[in-house]
Structure 1
Amino acid sequence: MIHGLVIEMGFESEIAVMTSLLKVYSLFDTEDVYKLFEKAPSKDLVLWSAMGSAFVENGQFLEAFECFREMQCYELEPNEVSAVSILPACADTRALSLGKQVHALDLISWKTMICGCLENSCHRKALVMLSEMRSSWLEPDVTIIQDALPAVSQTEETKLGTHIHSYVLKSGFFAFVSVGTALLQMYAKFGEVGSARSLFDQLHDKDLIAWSAMISVYTQSEDFCDAMHTS
């Protein structure tokens, strides 16, 4: 009835209206949703994300991955919202494996989904996805590592922290002061002030953020004398 009214009033070409209709149809049958989606004269990021969400909500994880990939073929880069819409599919390891067989996720896709996890405080899931990314023979860039380090701190797993520290050294990312600063903040979170100081001393080009981070580490551990000497 509502759909008929939309057609009658000539609103079928309006993306916002089509997106709302698609969300209504997703409560019943994804086949009808996809037919409606296909009829849309133009598709923006919001409409693609809504279609992906419809697949996820109905347990069609492989279709959700395919939708995510196809969206990028139309030169629409995913954002945190579209990444979050597909995150539940990532919890299904079988679906993620199938998704890799069909199309290998590119760096932007992985980065967006990992950032989506971090934005929603899904720290452990973000780290699992980082591991999955490396298993797919795609190495993270410096920004992914920089963003992932605080997630390691939140897990409070020192062994995991040591592992990613080793990776940072092997990959050469420690040359970036932002990564070194994130590492020292991670060790500070673990209560290892000595390790944090050691990393600080190894930084070649310390910026204001690095200095502030080290002072903050001493202040939080109530070592005010060293905090003053650092400043």
Structure 2
Amino acid sequence: MLKGYAKNNSSSSLVDAVSFFCQMRNDSVQPVVYNFTYLLKLCGDNSDLRWGKLIHAQLILNGFSSNLFAMTGVVNMYAKCRQIHEAYKMFDRMPVRDVVSWNTIIAAYAQNGLSSVALELLLRMQEEGKRPDSITVVTILPACADIVSLRIGKSIHAYVLRAGFESLVNVSTALVDMYFKCEAVGIARLIFDRMSNRNVVSWNSVIDGYVQSGDVEEAMSVFQMMLDQGVEPTNVTVMGALHACADLGDLERGMFIHKLVDEFKINSDVSVMNSLISMYSKCKKVDTAAAIFERMKVKTLVSWNAMILGLSQNGRVYEALNYFVEMQWQNIKPDSFSLVSVVPALAELSVVRQAKWIHGLVIRNYFDDNVYVMTALVDMYAKCGAVHTARKLFEMMNERHVTTWNAMIDGPRSLHKNYSRMLGCEEMWTSQRGNTKEEAS
């Protein structure tokens, strides 16, 4: 029963599993080690640290604190709850460690953005006489990609060949992904073409790899090849293909993929619908994007951001601002991307009063140290004619990108270009916004 709850993997299953475990204890049934490993897996999968600590305490009380399987489950639970130091503390106390234990702690660091530490642990693992298996390889290759270390990636590839893991589809797929992310596109494609067995994840890695490397036409070619071979796309496949269509501005193929979304019944996936909104917006069909947005039963912050950016990029600045205000009325807190999307719309209006309003919002939401948001503000003030304010913000920035310098250099030119527009824009904004301007401010 506990194993069944663990496989179900939901928050309700966790409550039911714990309740069932308590019932088992009330019936004086002595727990075995696997009872705890199933419960710890559920806690980790649901990132429920409170229940995880309680299960850990019960595990100790029942005398399993030195059990290899139980303590590996504890390490995994803390890692998935993003308590990396606790996970390592438990790992370090283990009197005996096997390859699974090492894989668990390496994955803990690799999956939480601490790739360098994960690679150091891989060396320690070998120094302690443990030979990495295929799971170790699949775990550590994303860490190489994360730090863009082609040299280490190639050394792991050499180990894969010596150990005879190259025929395993998950290992080859991880290698493809690593090479793409390390910008070795040719090697990535060579490995993919030589794979005797491929799963949908393999195809997704290649499509996404080409999109990220800027070769969106090849990404679409691989997507079509995948369909021709009868491989059913997943939501990840579709999002990669829609990204490619958006970058190409290819409305025809974008609409074809939209039909596939309905055909494969993944139109309830909010991430897929967000990708459709972005694709239609970039293909200048922002009304279609808006229709999709309005039909969505569940809207995330990403949905709002995609819609605001789409309207802003298509010159529909008033509508973009209306969506931004409506988003806040619905108690959805903007993030840095929301602000970077809406600030250019205000720059188009060239109204200093509204520029100050969004600047105040940036400060209240603690984004005044975000280089992308501050660059957008510098550009906005410059386009609104407030070049001195733009320069003041520019001087206050601790970090500047080349885009920041470009915005400041272009500032005086923007002042002359936009001066005539500025004169009548304040009145236009007031008439467009009507009664809602007071609430917005």
- TM bucket (normalised to shorter chain) is 0.5 to 0.7
**1:158–1:73 CA distance, 2 compared to 1 (3 A):** closer
The answer to whether the aligner puts 1:47 opposite 2:57 as a matched pair is: yes
Offset at residue 134 of structure 1 (A): 1.6
Offset at residue 127 of structure 1 (A): 1.3
Superposition TM-score, scaled by structure 2 size: 0.33
- The within-5 A match list for 1:81-96 is 81-82=77-78, 84=84, 85-87=86-88
RMSD: 3.3
The answer to whether the aligner puts 1:210 opposite 2:202 as a matched pair is: yes
Q: State whether residues 117 and 126 of structure 1, in contact with CA within 8 Å, keep that contact through their aligned partners in structure 2.
A: yes
Offset at residue 198 of structure 1 (A): 0.9
Deviations along 1:44-98, whole A, 9 cap, x unmatched? 7522899xxxxxxxxxxxxxxxxx97243878743424463152698xxxxx7xx
Aligned equivalent of 2:74, options 70, 75, 78: 78
Runs of 5+ consecutive residues of structure 1 not aligned to the other structure: 1-42, 51-67, 91-95
Equivalent position SS for 2:97: coil
Aligned equivalent of 2:212, options 212, 220, 225: 220
**1:132–1:48 CA distance, 2 compared to 1 (3 A):** farther
Query: How many angstroms apart in 2 are the aligned matches of 1:162 and 1:198?
Result: 14
**1:76–1:167 CA distance, 2 compared to 1 (3 A):** closer
**1:194–1:138 CA distance, 2 compared to 1 (3 A):** same
1:72 partner letter = L
**1:155–1:71 CA distance, 2 compared to 1 (3 A):** same
Query: How many angstroms apart in 2 are the aligned matches of 1:172 and 1:151?
Result: 21
1:223 partner letter = D
Q: State whether residues 142 and 179 of structure 1, in contact with CA within 8 Å, keep that contact through their aligned partners in structure 2.
A: yes
Superposition TM-score, scaled by structure 1 size: 0.60
The answer to whether the aligner puts 1:112 opposite 2:104 as a matched pair is: yes
Offset at residue 201 of structure 1 (A): 1.2
**1:116–1:130 CA distance, 2 compared to 1 (3 A):** same
Query: How many angstroms apart in 1 are the aligned matches of 2:69 and 2:193?
Result: 46
Deviations along 1:186-207, whole A, 9 cap, x unmatched? 1111111111111111211122
Deviations along 1:104-162, whole A, 9 cap, x unmatched? 42122212211221232221111111121122221122222112110111121211111
Query: How many angstroms apart in 2 are the aligned matches of 1:81 and 1:189?
Result: 29
Query: How many angstroms apart in 1 are the aligned matches of 2:145 and 2:107?
Result: 16
1:165 partner letter = H
Q: State whether residues 49 and 82 of structure 1, in contact with CA within 8 Å, keep that contact through their aligned partners in structure 2.
A: no
2:142 partner letter = P
- The within-5 A match list for 1:178-193 is 178-193=170-185
Q: State whether residues 185 and 196 of structure 1, in contact with CA within 8 Å, keep that contact through their aligned partners in structure 2.
A: yes
Query: How many angstroms apart in 1 are the aligned matches of 2:144 and 2:198?
Result: 23
Q: State the aligned residue count.
A: 165
**1:88–1:122 CA distance, 2 compared to 1 (3 A):** farther
The structure whose RCO (Cα within 8 Å, separation 6+) is larger is 1
Which one has the largest radius of gyration? 2
Partner of 1:158: 150
Equivalent position SS for 1:149: helix
Equivalent position SS for 1:204: coil
Percentage of matched positions with identical amino acids: 29
Partner of 1:201: 193
Query: How many angstroms apart in 2 are the aligned matches of 1:107 and 1:44?
Result: 27
Q: State whether residues 165 and 171 of structure 2, in contact with CA within 8 Å, keep that contact through their aligned partners in structure 1.
A: yes
Equivalent position SS for 1:156: coil
Q: State whether residues 172 and 192 of structure 2, in contact with CA within 8 Å, keep that contact through their aligned partners in structure 1.
A: yes
Runs of 5+ consecutive residues of structure 2 not aligned to the other structure: 1-52, 226-441
